[in-house]
Amino acid sequence: MATVDFGGVTKTVCLAYTPDAGIGDYTIIHAGFAIAILDEQAALESLELFEQLGIVSATTDEIAP
Amino acid sequence: MKYLSEFADPVLAQRLLDEISATVTRHWAIMEVCGGQTHSIIRNGIDQLLADEVELIHGPGCPVCVTPVELIDRGLRIAAMPDVIFCSFGDMVRVPGSAGDLFAVRAAGGDVRVVYSPLDAVAVAEENPSKEVVFFAVGFETTAPANAMAVHQAHERGLTNFSVLVSHGGGPPAIEAIVTSPESRVDAFLAAGHVCTVMGTRQYEAIVTEHRVPIIVTGFEPLDVLDGIRRAVRQLEAGRAEVENAYARAVRRDGNEVAKGMLADVFEPTDRQWRGIGPIPASGWRLTSRYRSYDAEIRFGVGDLAVEESGLCRSGDVLQGIIKPSECEAFGTACTPRHPLGATMVSTEGACAAYFQYRRLGDEVVPGG
């Protein structure tokens, strides 16, 4: 069991399904269980992709007749 | 990185919307499977911001909503028994059975308790050895590992006064039932990201191959939902049908192997009824023979209870995406969150509750509706 901070509210949750979770990790908690550890690298890549989309779209708009 | 506010950025949301508008050339109907996604879409007005060509159909992914009324009646009957403590997640206690709900049982003297985690129910059983403690194990694959652990722990601790009323289901058979339904208009699916944290994206690979329908594993924040839609539209316009992961920060192809191992130990597939939809083969779970003695339906002899549904509520049509909630005659009049006729108006994941809460009362134009 571990203490998890939900943006200010803390709760005790079970880490049996995320044995690799460590102090400072962000997790998805459901029904008192951590079911996934969030991957910061993947999150950053998603945001970067959205940034790129905007640039690609803007460029396309400029080229369009 | 907080993983939440970054995925609600309005500037990036507009870029995704622009990208969708620039890609789409014709009408596409995309079903968001999960009720959590429905609420995100309605709360953030995503359906109103999208290009007119993109119609969102709200799916059946609300476990409370699809729990059959006879199972709720079985729960009500058990909860009213003397020397029973009936534990449930919060949103199940207000879902109407054929006569009353769990709150009514509590008002009449029944010991009905709301718990946050199924482990809390196990603790109640340990603290009350002279009582029978029953947990209403409702949920899809996101919740099932927690409930499986509760049964496993009760077994490990030798608790003979703990049992579960199981309403688990989901998985590819449910999506397959929608795909193959003659009334289905769905061109692509946004699959429930949190289900996939457990089950992985691999489980959908056979469906996209067999039925040629794109499935995008999608998260819940506004940018997640928009990215799911963007990827679905891109696949549809290109004539592709693949499994794509638009929730990579939480979902891996194989899911959570530890949780899946526990699920396979405690549960096995079975046919099940979906409230408002009907029977779907192999879409539910029951306890394996090793844990069968923890089945509350068997322990309390309520398995044969059968009932009829009310005719006024059209939650079945809502759950299949055939109508929008505001198209139901009872919506907002005979049926409100205070006096719900169906579970879709009760649950925090129900489409009717989302429409009511965010004032989609049917007097404005719902895109594609």
DSSP codes, B96-156: --SS--HHHHHHTT-EEEE-SSHHHHHHHHHH-TTSEEEEEEEESTTTHHHHHHHHHHHHH
**Mean pLDDT of the region B339-366:** 81
CATH superfamily of B5-60+186-245: HypD, alpha/beta domain 1 (3.40.50.11750)
- The type of residue at B235 is Q
B195 touches B245 (CB < 8 A): no
Q: Which residue of A19, A39, A57 is in closest CB contact with B19? A: A57
Instruction: List the domain range (segments joined by +) for residue A17.
Output: 2-63
Query: Structural domain tally of chain A?
Result: 1
- Give the CATH number of domain B65-170+255-299: 3.40.50.11740
Q: Does B147 touch chain A (CB under 8 A)?
A: yes
C-alpha to C-alpha distance for B174 and B176, rounded to whole angstroms: 5
Q: Band of the pLDDT at B284, cuts 50, 70, 90?
A: very high
Q: What are phi and psi of A27, to 5 degrees?
A: -130, 160
Q: Does B3 touch chain A (CB under 8 A)?
A: yes
The helix (run of H) or strand (run of E) holding residue A12 is: strand A9-13
B266 touches B150 (CB < 8 A): no
* pLDDT for residue B304 is more than 70: yes
Residue range A24-53, pLDDT digits in tens = 999 999 999 999 999 999 999 999 999 998
Q: For the domain that residue A7 is a member of, what is the CATH number? A: 2.30.30.140
Shortest Cα distance, chain A CAs vs residue B11, angstroms: 9
B35 touches B351 (CB < 8 A): yes
* pLDDT for residue B224 is more than 70: yes
What one-character DSSP code corresponds to residue B91? G
Give the β-pairing of B267-274 and B278-287.
antiparallel
pLDDT at A45: 96
**Both tokens of residue A28?**
């998805």
Q: What are phi and psi of B148, to 5 degrees?
A: -60, -40
Cα–Cα–Cα angle for B67, B69, B72, nearest 5°? Answer: 80
Per the DSSP assignment, residues forming a β-bridge with B113 are B87
B93, B30, B35: which is closest to B315 by C-alpha?
B35
Residue range B62-112, pLDDT digits in tens = 999 899 989 999 999 999 999 999 999 998 998 988 888 999 999 999 999
Q: Do domains B5-60+186-245 and B65-170+255-299 have the same CATH topology?
A: yes
C-alpha to C-alpha distance for B310 and B318, rounded to whole angstroms: 15
C-alpha to C-alpha distance for B15 and B21, rounded to whole angstroms: 10
C-alpha to C-alpha distance for B367 and B369, rounded to whole angstroms: 5
Per the DSSP assignment, residues forming a β-bridge with B287 are B267
**Mean pLDDT of the region B282-295:** 97
Contact B1 A45 (CB under 8 A): no
B314 touches B287 (CB < 8 A): no
**Mean pLDDT of the region B286-306:** 93
**Residue B109 CB partners (closer than 8 Å, separation 6+):** none
Chain A positions touching B266 (Cβ under 8 A) are none
Percent of chain B exceeding pLDDT 90 equals: 77
In B55-94, the residues whose Cβ lies within 8 Å of chain A are: 89
**Mean pLDDT of the region B202-220:** 97
**Both tokens of residue B89?**
């997640």
Q: Band of the pLDDT at B362, cuts 50, 70, 90?
A: low
Q: Which residue of B11, B145, B223 is in closest CB contact with A35? A: B145
Chain A positions touching B6 (Cβ under 8 A) are 43, 47
* pLDDT for residue B222 is more than 50: yes
Chain B positions touching A26 (Cβ under 8 A) are 1-3
Q: The dihedral of CA B280, B40, B9, A58: what is its sign?
A: positive
Chain B positions touching A39 (Cβ under 8 A) are 248-250
**Mean pLDDT of the region A11-26:** 96
* pLDDT for residue B366 is more than 50: no
pLDDT at A64: 42
**Can you spell out the DSSP letters for B185-226?**
--SEEEEEHHHHHHH-SGGGHHHHHHH---EEEE-SSHHHHH
Shortest Cα distance, chain A CAs vs residue B90, angstroms: 11
Name the residue ranges covered by the structural domains of chain B: 5-60+186-245, 65-170+255-299
